[in-house]
Structure 1
Amino acid sequence: MSVARVVVESRLPQLDRLFDFRADDDVVPGVRVRVPFGGRMLPGFVVETAAESDFGGELHRVERMLSPVPVLRPEVWALARAVADRAAGSAVDVLRVAIPGRQARPETAWLQREAVVPAPPEPGESILPGLVERRGRIALRSEPGVVAVAAEPGGDASATRWVGRWAVELAGLARDALARGEQAILVVPDHREQRQLVAALQAVVGDRVVELDARQSNPDRYRAFLRAIDGGPIAIVGPRSAVYAPAASLGLLAVWEDGDPLHDEPLSPYATTRDVALVRQQQSGCALVLAGHARSTEVQRLVELGFLEPVVRGRPPRTLPTALQDGQAGRIPAIAFQVAKEAIADGPVLVQVARPGHAPALACARCGERARCRRCQGPLRRARADASPSCAWCGAVHAAWACSSCGGRALVELGRGSVRTADELGRAFPNVPVVVADGQHERLEVDDRPMLVVATRGAEPVAAGGYRAVLLLDGERILARESLRVAEDAVRAWSTARALARDDASIVLTGAVGRIATAMTARDPAAFAAAELADRRALRFPPAVRVASVVGGPDEVERVVRAVGDIGATDALGPVDVGDGAVRSMVRFDYGAGVDVAHALRAEIVRAATQSRSRVAKGAPVRVHVDDHEPFEGI
């Protein structure tokens, strides 16, 4: 009989610690268990075992071991605890993201397997020799362009798949780690990049690739997770949750496009992929690569601190902003049409637009009032020219719409989405195929035949041999969005689309002027990121400082802000009314005060959760979101 220290799966913040239970000797660290707690049974994970307990009372007994598989690895627990502490959150909330649910059949097969650790791959020519060995930390601006890799390693030598050169770069660095008998974790924003990276990896390390993806079926994801537990020289690839993958001998941790919003975790404690990667690198000492075609302001800050070494590979094609062309007007100026006309004879041309659908917004034809949903007040749009208006937020269809201001029933279209743009280009280029790629029309690849590919940001397919020209439309619409990160997001999206072009392609950018146009023409996103960061530093906006939003009843929010204010190196913005009797204050604090601020916030969360029901009823419950940038979206 031993003592099992268990973290229970509970959302109550006061239970975010280890509890001791008596357990049989076969209950080992990492297994799932069920334990008696407060008159009911709760699931949990055994974090560690010991011969004795410091608890003075009588210990309850582990009711049941749910599985003999040690799914919670020591390195994952250490990471979850550190990430939660940094964000004033609960470790068990991190574990819900990190560890997939148990699946009986894959688990049974895994327990009955004959464990075979794959041999390391043969070393190859490295793009950055010695990086993995010396455990370097770099901010990599990847080489633009696309290359062909073997579609079926070991199969038909003529079968190829086109991927971004960035994928080949990261695959080569992963091979460097695997050749040392270590693991590599590579995290991407979504399945489009994942597909490219997996193809590039398989071309150099064969079947030593494990995909961890929420798009997988539950059994497939659990099966992949168990393979990761086996360890050995493997490359683990996936979106943001893959950063928590079990890897006891981690040699490389790479994040592609860390500034992409898809790296933001929507669940508490809301840790981004980049922040988790930084914590994991500090714990494991692995090599760290934050790569992209542009540079986020967060990465720029780390470069300026000397924590990351900047590495630049290659230069993108020259970009022509139409604001510099006298006499050009309209959404697609004459110079852009001319570029497309000349390039289309040789192969595909990419046209990037701001919005999907036919008309991204509608208004009353009589009074001009924006058309909104009767159910949720979201903006109405039209997916196709012959489609009824539908809500962009909840999807409700409004076939019999009437204006709430004047009663008018006629609508006018505001703006052009991907479908409408494709229709117009189809008429302008009558003998050229037009392909739409957006959230409703997914295309991952196109061949090298002449065609126009109209795509929204982030949905651009890879073209065989690279696009012969790229038209970046709607710059003024993209930059009109009220957000602290609007310019940063635009440069990243435009740089990523530009990187899909052939080396000698023409790139045309419409509707951008000033610093952002200079950043694209100078082909120096680092200088742009430095200027953006300097502006944030002058205003004490993130990432120059960290922020935490505190939402709840006025009295509770005031108490939390006051408790944090006693620390020093902090200041507060607000409170502002957010509805339903709640207010929000923003606490800004220096990075050096992060540990103390997170500790104070967590103490206030626990205090609010454990106070009497009668007191809680007087105001909204307190919610804290550390590193919350959403309130800055209206700036």
Structure 2
Amino acid sequence: MTTQSRRIARVLLDSPLPQLDRLFDYSLPEELGEVPLGVRVRVPLRTAGRVIDGYVVEIDSEDDADRPLSEVESVVSSVPVLPERLHRLARRVADRAAGSASDVLRLVIPKRQVRVEKAWTPIVEPPLPSDTAQTHAAEVIDAYDGLGALLDEHGRAAVEAIPLLHADVPGWASLLASAAVRMLAAGESSILVVPDHRDLDRLLAALGEMVPAEAIARYDSRQTNPERYRSFLRSLDDAPCIVVGNRSAVYAPVRAGLVALWDDGDPLLGEPLAPYANARDVALVRQEQEDSALLFVGHTRTTDVERLVAHGWLQDVRAVRRVLPRVILSTPQEMEQQAPQRLPSSAFLSARSAAAEGPVLVQVSRPGFAPSLVCAGCRAPARCAHCGGPLGAAHRGALPVCGWCGRGARAWSCPSCASPQLRLASSGSERTADELGRAFPGIRVIVADSAHPVDRVADKPSLVVATRGAEPLAEGGYRAVVLLDGPKMLQAPDLRIGEACLRWWSNAAALAAPGAPVHLVGVDGGVARALATWSQSAHARAELAERAPLHMPPAARVALVEGTAAAVSRAVSALEELALPRDAVLGPVPVESDDVPPRVRALVRFDYASGARVAAALRASVVAEAVSARRGKGRSNRSALSVRLDILDPEL
């Protein structure tokens, strides 16, 4: 008696449930015909007769026809949206972060757009850059020591970007575009990842002058659903392309010859959704799998990248002839004043003379007029009586408004001294612009912040007051740059605040014209010296050396385990088999919330060599708790246990 074989599809379900994060076997009916790998399908679940979306990862055949299997209900689309390389990347990233592969795929595979799919015509002939573009790209790349050979050999490097403008295009954007042009000319695709829409627009402007439009696939949150799906289909084509986008672009399903990240220290590159993987970590995983070239480009150096440079995993690439901004620190006399001026005389005179010739940049820490108020009597911070949030003012004499709940404080009185009077305690971008407008009569004042976005300013006398990260480009560069509120920025309760401030100030200093003064006001110490000497990598090495004895990131990895006391206790107990150090687990401690039962959290510190074992153990605990909760009576809206690896420093 012979048995007939049947086709089996192994399907990855599109579900956030941790217990469903594996491949499930389904029978493929004959009427479906040939089913390509990676296509979307609809499959039934055994519970409640539901039907769910999934992706065909493997197709096999088996002789055991007696094994009960559900059938694939339908093929949603014939487009293979999950190629094998994307599935491997999603699986690896999810395993590293103790998450689900479907959560990763939800970040990169957009919703199907039927009209776009039917109208799409794959590009067969690869678009090539012109000879002029290739010549310009070679000139830009040759300005960096050994970068051309590194790209050709698919090497890995941390690159210190030259702080100059090339035809009103930032030097870093010209570098990334040139690297992508070099790879495209060699028939290879590139992925260029930037933090926000300003950086994206500047990079697209640099690319637009060098490559045809059909060679670019844009991944942008501002796109409509059809535009996003069209870009996704373009990245599925065999013809090489340049993928440009924000953090989710690092998952683009191209066969990448280059992955490059600009300004990897920007928190916008950290994914706020599960499994919370940073684009930098995804790029590292992707390079291991695909053996592509990998570049981390920045004016400064994060401790994460510096750790890889110290281990020899990344090559340190600098310009053949370094260009250093002219940074001027506050004098000892200005630092020793009992009531230091917000804009000292040296910076004021420099800005006044420069503003007569062209634009001057003034960087401030916060937007608005007066983001925070204090009691006029005892100087205690003014807080909202309803939620405890900080009170601020939209203009002088305005009604104080809470920055959290938005309520107005009409009859406010200080809980400490009962004074009803308030005092402006801080100056935002609008208040600074108001004050400088009176100090610089006849000079145009421009505010650039989240409420007043400005992309470029003309080469005319003006004062540009901008918040950190919102600085517009100036034609020919700024004639002077003044960095204010440095002491306030450094007081933020963040382990990496020095690293962040150095990044903000370095990016602003890079916008100055050649030889223009850059004044850092009211700051001394290691961060100020690193900016003045343009030795950001040395500062990163010093920071890394200080954190290593404390086992703080990035010297070690940290996992946050949160849930009910019993669930956290079981998860921590499961880690005991891994023989971690005694002080590896910190906590658990109660979490302030109204959850019933109350929740607790614990921190787990471990080295990189133990990462795979710790992630697997924590993921197994999450799955076990999810399964037991499903079998128990009653269900809570929150999971009994949640895990997050490589948490941000403020959460420590």
Q: TM-score, normalised by structure 1?
A: 0.93
Residue 290 of structure 1: aligned partner: 296
Residue 191 of structure 1: aligned partner: 197
Residue 246 of structure 1: aligned partner: 253
- Tell me if 1:71 matches 2:72: no
Counterpart Cα distance in 2 of 1:281 and 1:391: 46
Tell me whether 624-633 or 443-452 shows the greater mean CA deviation: 624-633
Change (3 A) 1:73 1:468: same
| 2:271 and 2:277 in contact (8 A); partners too | yes
Give the AA of the match of 1:19. Answer: F
Q: Percent identity?
A: 48
1:323 Cα offset (Å): 4.8
Counterpart Cα distance in 2 of 1:600 and 1:441: 48
Give the AA of the match of 1:512. Answer: V
Give the AA of the match of 2:252. Answer: A
1:392 Cα offset (Å): 2.7
1:582 Cα offset (Å): 1.3
Counterpart Cα distance in 2 of 1:384 and 1:185: 44
Counterpart Cα distance in 2 of 1:467 and 1:618: 53
Counterpart Cα distance in 2 of 1:532 and 1:54: 60
Tell me whether 551-560 or 292-301 shows the greater mean CA deviation: 551-560
- Tell me if 1:579 matches 2:595: no
1:56 Cα offset (Å): 6.9
Tell me whether 484-493 or 34-43 shows the greater mean CA deviation: 34-43
Residue 219 of structure 1: aligned partner: 226
Residue 92 of structure 1: aligned partner: 102
Residue 152 of structure 1: aligned partner: none
1:315 Cα offset (Å): 2.8
Aligned partner of 1:102 among 106, 112, 132? 112
Counterpart Cα distance in 1 of 2:246 and 2:15: 26
| 1:548 and 1:625 in contact (8 A); partners too | yes
Residue 237 of structure 1: aligned partner: 244
| 1:120 and 1:180 in contact (8 A); partners too | no
- Tell me if 1:429 matches 2:440: yes
Counterpart Cα distance in 2 of 1:331 and 1:101: 51
For 1:439-588, list aligned pairs within 5 A. 439-570=450-581, 571-580=584-593, 581-588=598-605
Counterpart Cα distance in 1 of 2:254 and 2:58: 18
Deviations 1:433-480 (A, max 9, x none): 011111111011111111111111110011111111110111100001
- Tell me if 1:36 matches 2:41: no
Give the AA of the match of 2:323. Answer: R
- Tell me if 1:205 matches 2:211: yes
Aligned partner of 2:346 among 330, 335, 339? 335
1:233 Cα offset (Å): 2.5
Change (3 A) 1:631 1:445: closer
- Is the partner of 2:264 in helix, strand or coil? coil
Give the AA of the match of 1:2. Answer: R
| 1:569 and 1:590 in contact (8 A); partners too | no
| 2:122 and 2:237 in contact (8 A); partners too | no
Counterpart Cα distance in 2 of 1:215 and 1:524: 36
Deviations 1:559-597 (A, max 9, x none): 212212321244111222212321111000010000100
1:522 Cα offset (Å): 1.4
Aligned partner of 2:622 among 580, 599, 605? 605
Residue 3 of structure 2: aligned partner: none
For 1:346-425, list aligned pairs within 5 A. 346-365=357-376, 368-373=379-384, 376-385=387-396, 387-394=398-405, 396-398=406-408, 400=410, 402-403=412-413, 405=415, 409-425=420-436
Counterpart Cα distance in 2 of 1:607 and 1:27: 34
Counterpart Cα distance in 1 of 2:493 and 2:397: 31
Counterpart Cα distance in 2 of 1:56 and 1:579: 53
Change (3 A) 1:297 1:57: same
1:367 Cα offset (Å): 5.4
| 1:444 and 1:462 in contact (8 A); partners too | yes
Change (3 A) 1:218 1:619: closer
| 1:353 and 1:454 in contact (8 A); partners too | yes
- Is the partner of 1:501 in helix, strand or coil? coil
1:48 Cα offset (Å): 2.2
Counterpart Cα distance in 2 of 1:181 and 1:296: 32
- Tell me if 1:590 matches 2:601: no
Tell me whether 361-370 or 496-505 shows the greater mean CA deviation: 361-370
Give the AA of the match of 2:622. Answer: I
- Tell me if 1:51 matches 2:64: no
1:514 Cα offset (Å): 1.1
| 1:89 and 1:602 in contact (8 A); partners too | yes
Counterpart Cα distance in 2 of 1:557 and 1:77: 31
Q: TM-score, normalised by structure 2?
A: 0.91
Deviations 1:141-178 (A, max 9, x none): 10002121xxxxxxxxxxxxx22011101111111110
| 1:212 and 1:242 in contact (8 A); partners too | yes
- Tell me if 1:82 matches 2:92: yes
Residue 155 of structure 1: aligned partner: none
Give the AA of the match of 1:251. Answer: G
- Is the partner of 2:609 in helix, strand or coil? helix
Counterpart Cα distance in 1 of 2:63 and 2:432: 69
Tell me whether 507-516 or 78-87 shows the greater mean CA deviation: 507-516
- Is the partner of 2:362 in helix, strand or coil? strand
Residue 266 of structure 2: aligned partner: 260
Tell me whether 259-268 or 566-575 shows the greater mean CA deviation: 566-575
Change (3 A) 1:173 1:555: same
Give the RMSD, CA atoms, in angstroms: 2.1
Residue 5 of structure 1: aligned partner: 10
1:631 Cα offset (Å): 5.0
Change (3 A) 1:307 1:50: same
Structure 1, unpaired ranges of 5+: 149-161
- Tell me if 1:269 matches 2:237: no
Q: Number of matched residues? A: 616
Structure 2, unpaired ranges of 5+: 1-5
Change (3 A) 1:76 1:500: same
Aligned partner of 2:286 among 280, 284, 299? 280
| 2:588 and 2:603 in contact (8 A); partners too | yes
1:26 Cα offset (Å): 3.3
Deviations 1:278-309 (A, max 9, x none): 00000110000001000000000000000000
- Is the partner of 1:573 in helix, strand or coil? strand
- Is the partner of 2:514 in helix, strand or coil? strand
Residue 643 of structure 2: aligned partner: 624
Change (3 A) 1:625 1:324: same
Tell me whether 313-322 or 469-478 shows the greater mean CA deviation: 313-322
- Is the partner of 1:566 in helix, strand or coil? helix
- Tell me if 1:176 matches 2:159: no
1:630 Cα offset (Å): 4.4
1:47 Cα offset (Å): 1.6
1:414 Cα offset (Å): 1.4
1:399 Cα offset (Å): 5.5
Change (3 A) 1:376 1:56: farther
| 1:31 and 1:45 in contact (8 A); partners too | yes
Give the AA of the match of 1:322. Answer: S
| 1:20 and 1:55 in contact (8 A); partners too | no
Aligned partner of 1:136 among 126, 132, 155? 155
Deviations 1:31-66 (A, max 9, x none): 111110122011111122223388972211111222
1:231 Cα offset (Å): 3.6
Counterpart Cα distance in 1 of 2:642 and 2:128: 47
Change (3 A) 1:186 1:56: farther
